[in-house]
Amino acid sequence: MNRTIGELASRPVISVEAETPVIEALKLMSAQRISCIVVLLKGEPIGILTERDVVFAANWVIGQPALRIREVMSKPVLTASAELTVDDAYRQFRENGIRHLVVLGEQMELAGIFTQTDLVRALSGSIFSADQQVSLLMSCQVRHVSTEATARQALALMASHAISGVVVIEGKRPVGVFTERDVVRLVAAGVDLSSLSVEVVMTSPVVTIPASALPTHAIDLMRSHDVRRLLVVNEEGAMSGVLTQTDLSRILDHRESVLAGSLMSQAKTAGFGTGLSVN
């Protein structure tokens, strides 16, 4: 995981000026199928608009065509050198609660965007133990709505729990997911979320993975289906949990704790146990 974010960052950087109407920025995000857009002022990055921002601001944005992107963007935007390692980038994600880093080149130019998707793609098989299953990494609590729910109700659930998507079920059977990307698409189109059934606008079908599958298989599935979450099912095909890119990336926390424990053990063995602390 000593590869640099400059090697892995998504390109090109899609950006707009700070006075751009939000709705125009959302249309661009939807058309390009990107998770964020960088906001510039006189050519300098001053903020970022992400799909997560749209989930929280959707009710505000709808019906206000004159609203400018500077009024809803996240700021300041976090930037990093192209030479930053993937491990260090993950620490930035974790410590700042973000999923995007703007990558700067040698001349401080916009050189790329390093996203959580790029991070997960960088995870190698050696990161995971040979017997590790996705059931050990998944989120067991699955937020869901019925097919009769409106898109606005699904959005409200996402915003209240700060989650990137909800599963749509019919009876007890999962039939689709409603995600941040769906929210961006709908808000960009100016639709009334209260009048639409989530069944009509959800992403379907659901991509599933067995609970016993290996994490590397999950990464391959996410890449091949261009999704950021998988529904985990048990041997009977029943819903057991959801595996997201965030869940997969937390393996780096586990690796750090194992490394810290190993260093502590070595220090004690060497007679340096007293006074040693690992933060």
What is the distance between the alpha carbons of residues 48 and 258, in angstroms, rounded to a whole number?
Answer: 34
Q: What is the mean pLDDT of the chain?
A: 88
Helical residues (DSSP H) of the chain, grouped into ranges: 5-8, 22-32, 51-61, 86-96, 116-122, 151-161, 180-189, 198-201, 215-225, 245-249, 251-269
- Residues 6 or more apart whose CB falls under 8 angstroms from that of 259 comprise none
Q: Is pLDDT above 80 for 235?
A: yes
Q: How confident is the model at residue 260 (pLDDT cuts 50, 70, 90)?
A: very low
171 has pLDDT over 90: no
Residue 242 has pLDDT above 60, yes or no: yes
Strand pairing class (239-244; 229-233): antiparallel
pLDDT computed for residue 196 by the predictor:
93
* Distance spanning both ends of the chain, measured CA to CA: 21
Model confidence at 231: pLDDT above 90: yes
Whether 263 and 278 have beta carbons less than 8 Å apart is answered as: yes
Contacts of 256 (CB under 8 A, 6+ apart): none
Write out pLDDT tens, residues 209-226. Answer: 999 999 999 999 999 999
CA–CA distance, 28 with 34 (Å, rounded to integer)? 9
Give the pLDDT band of residue 255 (cuts 50, 70, 90).
low
Question: CA 189, CA 172: separation in Å to the nearest integer?
Answer: 31
pLDDT confidence bin for 79, thresholds 50/70/90: very high
Residue 199: is its pLDDT beyond 80? yes
| Percent of the chain with pLDDT strictly greater than 90 | 72
What is the set of domains in the chain, with CATH numbers?
5-122 (3.10.580.10), 134-249 (3.10.580.10)
Banded model confidence at residue 67, pLDDT cuts 50, 70, 90: very high
Report which of residues 253 and 93 the model is more confident about.
93
Q: Concatenated DSSP letters for 226-274? A: T-SEEEEE-TTS-EEEEEEHHHHHTHHHHHHHHHHHHHHHHHHHTT--T
Distance from the Cα of residue 184 to its chain's centroid: 14
Specify the higher pLDDT residue, 235 or 79.
79
The per-residue pLDDT for range 94-125, each reduced to its tens digit, is 999 999 999 999 888 999 999 999 999 888 76
